[in-house]
Homo-oligomer: A and B are copies of this chain.
Amino acid sequence: MAFADTFKALSDPVRREILMMLRHGSLSAGEIAGQFDMTGATISYHLSILKKAELVRETKVKNYVYYGLNTSVVEEIMLWLSELKGGNEDDKEV
């Protein structure tokens, strides 16, 4: 995982919204697109960025493709941020 790709992927509000939609479970591209006033091509583009950043994983079930949140990458970012914040010993337990 490259942090550069991850943070770039997270910098877009549509992509952050897609990730939030996936937090309760995987969805198909159609189900995701249904929540946005955007073309399927635009949603596919955002999904490809999220996949490249490994924030989203693709699962194929028969003829359908589902997109799910990769929580381990989310955890890696959180770990890096805790390390950043951890410099102040008093804050460690917060």
Please give the residue numbers on chain A whose beta carbons come within 8 Å of chain B beta carbons, in ascending order.
3-4, 7-8, 10-13, 16, 19-20, 22-25, 69, 71, 74-75, 77-78, 80-88, 91, 94
Contact = CB atoms under 8 A, between A and B. Distances in A.
Copies in the complex: 2
A4 B12 contact: yes
A78 B80 CA distance: 10
Q: Which 5 A-B pairs have the closest CB atoms?
A: A23-B87, A7-B11, A7-B10, A24-B87, A8-B11
Given A19-B84, A74-B81, 7 more contacts: A3-B13, A4-B13, A8-B8, A23-B88, A25-B87, A74-B85, A78-B85
25 contacts: A3-B10, A3-B16, A4-B11, A4-B13, A7-B7, A7-B8, A7-B10, A7-B11, A8-B8, A11-B11, A16-B80, A20-B83, A20-B84, A23-B83, A23-B85, A23-B86, A23-B87, A23-B88, A25-B87, A69-B84, A69-B87, A71-B91, A75-B85, A75-B94, A81-B81
